[in-house]
Structure 1
Amino acid sequence: MPYQHILVPIDDSPIAYAAMEHAQDIAQAFDAQITLVSVVAIDPFVGVDFYKVAPSITDHIFEAEKNAEGRLQNLKQTLEQRGFVVNTRIIREVPPAIGIVTIADEVNADLIIMGSHGRSGIKKFILGSVAQEVLTQSRLPVLIVK
């Protein structure tokens, strides 16, 4: 089945950019559009009330969102110069995997391509694996790049 719309979650890690390279190849082969998405997540171990009383944390979140928007716009511009149709989205205030799956549905994506940091053992248990959660929750095919 040819893919028409590819969703690519992006953060500032090298593995996310590796996933982006795979997405470009597949998008080019199928003449598909690309939606780039970044997650601006609050710390799941800290309650919302803490953010109301801690302006420095709130500033950190705004800075993270500004950085994510800048990263997405830079990638969008690069991809558009290469002839791709590109959209961007920011996910806010939801767990990353839920946000990724929700955005995939909203934009009618038919493939998700994402990097996996390859955490294992206790790190995976404590931090969870966004890629694993997306695999579990998505009804779409998911290509995981390691």
Structure 2
Amino acid sequence: MTTYQHILVPIDESPISYAAVEQALALAKSLNSQVTIMSVIAVDPFVGVDFYKVAPAITDYFMQAEKTAKERLEEIKQSFVRDNIEVDVKLIHGVSPSEGIIQIADEVSADLIIMGSHGRTGIKKMMLGSVAQNVLTQSPIPVLIVKI
């Protein structure tokens, strides 16, 4: 059996992220793995909006998103600390979620990614895309997808 020494767990605000965290906790504990939890502050959601008219709104959005992500990462980090699991946190900006996940996996030399998937299908998947699907197809390392 492959022993995973460094697990990457990308999270967002969804409940499915917390299910992935629970899987990562269990696996890291049983394999004595190091864990990195991460979030991506999404690429500009205001694409096509006149920047000069909405600059304060954009700044407020990104500041609030970063604050919320840092709080969520710290809260989740404590779950790993309580179980004596070596854990680090990463926050990345300016890239798509899937690009950020792949980038951080490479940066920390992760050998497994555990992430949640909303399980969208059909037209919803076509319209919204799928971060999990993108990571699955782009990642050079194994990806464990957790669904609830």
TM-score by length of 2: 0.92
Identity of aligned residues (%): 57
Q: 1:120: which partner in 2? A: 121
Q: Is the 8 A contact 2:44 2:94 kept in 1?
A: no
Q: 2:36: which partner in 1? A: 35
Alpha carbons of structure 1 residues 51 and 63: separation in structure 2 relative to 1, 3 Å: farther
Unpaired segments ≥5 residues, structure 1: none
Over aligned residue pairs, what C-alpha RMSD do you find? 1.5
2:60 and 2:46 map into 1 onto residues whose CA distance is: 18
Unpaired segments ≥5 residues, structure 2: none
1:44 and 1:82 map into 2 onto residues whose CA distance is: 37
TM-score by length of 1: 0.93
Q: Deviations over 1:36-87 (max 9, x none)?
A: 001110345614x744541112211110111001100111122102211110
For 2:13, the aligned partner's letter is: D
2:51 and 2:80 map into 1 onto residues whose CA distance is: 36
2:57 and 2:119 map into 1 onto residues whose CA distance is: 31
